[in-house]
Amino acid sequence: MDFFLDTGEVNEIKEAAKWGIIDGVTTNPSLIAKSGRNQFDVIKEIVEIVNGPISAEVIATDVDGMIKEGEELANIHENVVIKLPLTEAGITACKWFSDNQIKTNVTLCFSVNQALLAAKNGATFISPFIGRLDDIGHDGPGLIEEIRNIYDNYGFETKILAASIRHALHVREAAMVGADVATMPFKVVKSLFKHPLTDKGLEAFLNDHKKANNLN
């Protein structure tokens, strides 16, 4: 499973990239707004840090506007993936981008039927929001499992990108049900390193080393 960082903060991307585990980056208007910067400037910096898919979202809600914005974003770098909302306009624009060999990430997916629409129009990625589903008492990871089964049934090549990940357990669950990608906030990626027994074991090893070598 690929790991994407879900952020608009370039400093977070630089730090995470040093770990060697980040395969791509996803952004959205809210994340970019938090950074207080222009989307184009942020994307131009990110593509120089991470050599992988970089999702950049359109703001327009009509097909022509989405295509215009998407083309401008795609011209930044070959790794830019155009992020589209799962609406009639978004799915229509997805078909245009697919026909023109421009990669897409169809976002805000909350059902299998929506995922089918994206796959039929050649989306590169589909982004089910598992955290938001869990928030309202639905089974987020279960949706990924259903999409995985249906995509495999028909040989769809669209990759399942688990989004709206809240914690490390979501990462584990997404991996177990066959997500191709998990996109995570910086704090969630960092939490994957942590386990109390690892910390306890390391402390014991270091203490034993000091004792064995008569170190203070």
> Which residues form the catalytic set?
83
Give, as one character, the DSSP assignment of residue 128: E
φ/ψ of residue 183, rounded to 5: -105, 130
Decide: 189 and 24 in contact? Cβ < 8 Å: no
What single-letter amino acid sits at 110?
Answer: F
* Rounded CA separation 191/195 (Å): 8
Please state, in angstroms and rounded to a whole number, the distance separating the CA atoms of residues 56 and 69. Answer: 10
Determine contact, residues 57/29, Cβ cutoff 8 Å. yes
Q: Which of 114, 103, 181, 106 is nearest to 143 (CA)?
A: 114
